[in-house]
Amino acid sequence: MRSIPMALLLVPALALAESDRPATADVNLTVHTRGNESTFQVGQVIELELSFTSAKPKAYQIDMATYDRSGRLNAETFAIKPAAGWEDPLELYFHSWSGFIGGGLRGFDVLSAKPTVIHLQLNEWVQFARPGQYRVTVTSGRVSRLSHQFFGRGGIRVASNELLLTIAPATPEWQGQTLQSAVAALDGPKEADQRKEAIKALRYLGTPAAAREMADRLNEPDLSWDYVLGIAGSPAREAALEEMRSLLRDPDFPISDQFLSTMAIAALPAHATGDVPAQRDALETRFRQELAAVLATKRNGALAVSADTLAEGGVSPELRRKATEVLVATFEQLPVEKQAEVLRDRWKDLDHEAILPSLRTVARRYKEFPQLSEMKAYRFNNASAAALQHWYEMEPEAARAAILEEILRPHPRFGASVLGILPDKELQEADQPLAEHLLRDSRDFNASDNLASLIHRYASRALESQVTSYLDGRIGKLACDIQAPLLAYLLKQDPPKARSLLQDAIAARGEAFSACNHSLLTQVGNLQNDSLIEEIAVPALDDPDPEVVDDAAAYLAQRGSAAAEGAVWARFVAWSRRWAGHEAELRNTPGQTAGLLREAGVGSNLMTALAGGQAWLTSDAKLRRLIALSVGRRQRQEAKAFLRAWQTRPWEIRFIPFEQGQF
């Protein structure tokens, strides 16, 4: 199977319409229930197995995705007879918002005579309200012709056999036992499979008790999304709403933004019409005002989280200011992930003087973790990093001591992106500790990464021999985020020495090596740019490894000089001549060799570099030349898109306010 990242898409509120793509007799879809059961109680999980086969080998591919960021994957549609007695449980949820962010990682398999099986729960799309017999047919849009390069092109509709289901009334005994088992699994050991089955049972059960249980658990971070969808789709939403009203007033229950938005959906009429998103917004505003009225009764951590929710907006400026004062006073009682979020995203709304004592505390807070990459460590340290940076802005002398203390730790929690804020060009007192800590055999990659970045940022030339000694025998074998900062340090201190090591690093390849040569030039250049890198990148355009060529082209586009443009053009012309007339070999299809995929990438990256290089100006003539040299429909479309952007007037300057911002 191959996996490709799909872009974030704004998807429509509900996409259950039948596809108009053509069907084919070459692909077969058979659907049956797990264990071939045919009788289910109302609210019981109905597991479906969709088996896809093709009598025509290597002709069709299938999208193996089972989730979508919007909340539900709509690759299948379901025809149910009779048309009454059931409904789409998430119809109200999807109509409650103007749009959703969709997409995700998708894997594709090649269909054959051997079945490819997709597992789904029918309950996600169909909620049976009345007992009776129902005929179910599934139509899938997962299959497309293998000859087409892009997902969605050459797609076909595949209809299944008809499935006959008997839906029986749910007995109170079964409902009670199902709820009890689900709660026990959710409260027990954190075993993923058991918890997954339990949350599905709870979501689809449809009883008032199940709805109340989901409301009580909305603050569980790893399962909150399932509870949101479960409440939105529950036929007992009134019970959930009643429980949520009680929790809103509970002094010890934290109220989050997600809680309020879910509460608003639960309060919508079952078959809301008109501008449903506006109705949901109005309800959420009302519940936010109700929270404001009871905020003074909240206590401890519940007060801190609830104040944070109000401080985010949706209330009057006066109330927001009051909530912010409460938030500052209770800041250290927030969950650590919330602390980091507040300090990063809402710093401008805080009273900086009032929160200064908390900054000092959180910045110095330290806990030893086996691995810095584990989620608990990440959340804990993220809050300390944000606090340390703001503390330094307010009290540079006092915070400097804490920054130095962190730099000198054997396993520093942060690298130069956090600790590099000191104005010092070098910290000679840190030379030996940094070298000694790096030379120790650390099993924590993140700590070694941080040490390497701090050596690049602060180490003096006195450390050169030790860094060179450390790299000896390790070039091409180290993790890329450790090797790149150390090479950047040498580039800063001793360019001739760095040249030979950079050349060695590009040449290092094979099973015993870490493939860092595929990103070496851009990584080092981003840390420590120098004309020496361009001198290495230009000949690297002719490297036999396509990914080294990609890296060289990317570096020259981002940081090369105008003198490099001719070399990139020469390489693109040579690539175009090699593949002109052979575009079919470069198509992105399952079973295609990785080498051909990478060759296709080389052409695309060279063209992008020529169209968007930072050191040279594009022109109408250059873009038309790119179109003429393009190989295949996809690349020609990309080149034409560059030309259309060039011809569109007025030109725009856009600012992306992400991290430090980008124009």
CA atoms within 13 A on the CB side of 403: 27
What contacts 133, CB < 8 A, 6 or more positions away?
164, 165, 166, 167
CA atoms within 13 A on the CB side of 164: 1
Most distant CA pair in the chain: distance in Å? 82
CA distance 645 to 663: 16
Tell me how far apart the terminal alpha carbons of the chain are, to the nearest angstrom: 37
What contacts 120, CB < 8 A, 6 or more positions away?
47, 48, 50, 66, 76
Q: Are strands 76-81 and 60-63 parallel, antiparallel or unpaired?
A: unpaired
The three-state DSSP-derived secondary structure of 337-361 is: HHHHHHHHHCHHHCCHHHHHHHHHH
Residue 638's pLDDT is what?
92
Residue 9's pLDDT is what?
31
What contacts 397, CB < 8 A, 6 or more positions away?
none
CA distance 520 to 540: 11
Which of 183, 163, 179 shows the shortest CA–CA distance to 171? 179
CA distance 471 to 464: 11
Domains of the chain with CATH codes: 2-170 (2.60.40.10), 179-328 (no CATH), 567-663 (no CATH)
Please count the residues of the chain: 663
620 to 343, 626, 646: CA distances (angstroms): 46, 10, 7
Which of 483, 499, 503, 481 shows the shortest CA–CA distance to 491? 499
Which of 413, 454, 416 shows the shortest CA–CA distance to 435? 454
For the record, the structure tokens of 458 come out as 């602060």
Reduce the DSSP state of residue 221 to 3 states and report it.
Answer: coil
Predicted TM-score of the model (pTM): 0.74
Sites in the chain below the pLDDT cut of 70: 1-24, 67-71, 99-106, 147-154, 314, 441-443, 588-594, 658-660
CA distance 236 to 210: 8
Residue 239's pLDDT is what?
97
CA distance 145 to 158: 12
CA distance 320 to 328: 12
Residue 78's pLDDT is what?
95
Residue 100's pLDDT is what?
55
Radius of gyration of the chain (CA): 29
Residue 406's pLDDT is what?
95
Residue 594's pLDDT is what?
65
Residue 194's pLDDT is what?
85
Do 448 and 438 touch, CB atoms closer than 8 A? yes
Residue 424's pLDDT is what?
96
Residue at token pair 């959710």: 186
Do 65 and 107 touch, CB atoms closer than 8 A? yes
Which of 221, 302, 214, 308 shows the shortest CA–CA distance to 262? 214
Residue 425's pLDDT is what?
96
pLDDT tens column, 139-155: 999 998 875 544 444 57
Residue 201's pLDDT is what?
95
Torsion sign over Cα 331, 333, 334, 339: positive
Beta bridge partners of 135: 81, 164
Do 58 and 108 touch, CB atoms closer than 8 A? no
Residue 265's pLDDT is what?
95
CA distance 657 to 292: 31
CA distance 205 to 550: 52
